[in-house]
A and B are shown apart, each in its own frame.
Chain A
Amino acid sequence: QTVVTQEPSFSVSPGGTVTLTCGLSSGSVSSSYYPSWYQQTPGQAPRTLIYTTNTRSSGVPDRFSGSILGNKAALTITGAQADDESDYYCVLYMGSGISVFGGGTKVTVL
């Protein structure tokens, strides 16, 4: 079974830039996997950030951007702010109706 991989954690300084990635245990991620990204803080429902690789959801600041970098989907936070400290999840559509989430990345801003 294919596993969706994410870095377990990242630390970024306020105002800094961080790029989170979303890969496959076997193969490369492309736009045909419709990668999307979600932000979640403790006790809250996830919030949609990015879908179809690089489309920002309504109300999402433009410091969040999505892309394909090499063989992975990527979420870049440019000019990180304190309230960006959250868990970030990607999800990939595997085909045949099935989607799979990555394990999530915990981002610390300090």
Chain B
Amino acid sequence: EVQLVESGGGLVQPGGSLRLSCAASGFAVSSNYMSWVRQAPGKGLEWVSVIYNGGSTYYADSVKGRFTISRDNSKNTLYLHMNALRADDTAVYYCARDGGAYNRALDPWGQGTLVTVSS
């Protein structure tokens, strides 16, 4: 079964750091495009970042320079390293497989992990 399970969310102070994990099963993270999407409380979905199978990475302007997407092929796990966190980074963070160059479908999605940035 193709599945994604996020972990690592929690409460962090402004300016702090956090690392989110997304464990994949049923397919290889290394062979796919993988994305992070977030949703602030009561708000819509916001695309955050993608890593291509070749290793190229891209970020939304709102997180560029603060967040880093990476993967560990041996653990079949995607990561999102978040630094200099701000209150407006508070959100549920979802990972999703991206369909790739000619099919940008985000599917499947994980269940999400909540990040709260507050003092």
A34 touches B103 (CB 8 A): yes
Q: What's the least CB distance linking B45 to chain A, in Å?
A: 5
CA A91 to CA B50, docked complex, whole Å: 14
Contact residues on B (Cβ < 8 Å of other chain), bracket: 20 to 34
Chain B residues whose C-beta falls within 8 Å of the C-beta of A101 in the assembled complex: 37, 44-47
A interface secondary structure, majority: strand
Q: B45 touching A38 by the CB < 8 A rule?
A: yes
> Is B61 a contact partner of A1 (Cβ separation < 8 A)?
yes
Q: Which of B7-15, B16-24, B79-87, B107-115 contacts A (4 or more CB under 8 A)?
A: B107-115
Out of A48, A55, A87, A98, which one reaches B60, CB within 8 Å? A98
Contact B44 A48 (CB under 8 A): no
In the complex, A25 has a CB within 8 A of chain B: no
Indicate with 1 or 0, residue by residue over A24-38, a CB within 8 angstroms of chain B CB atoms. Answer: 000000000010101
| Other-chain contact of A97, B56, B102, B106, B108 (Cβ < 8 Å) | B56
- B41-97, CB < 8 A from A: 44-47, 50, 52, 56-58, 60-61, 94
**Which A residues contact B (CB, under 8 angstroms)?**
1, 34, 36, 38, 40, 45-48, 51-52, 55, 57, 87, 89, 91, 93, 96-104
6 contacts between A and B (CB under 8 A): A34-B104, A46-B106, A48-B108, A55-B105, A99-B47, A101-B47
Interface positions of B (Cβ within 8 A of A): 35, 37, 44-47, 50, 52, 56-58, 60-61, 94, 99, 102-112
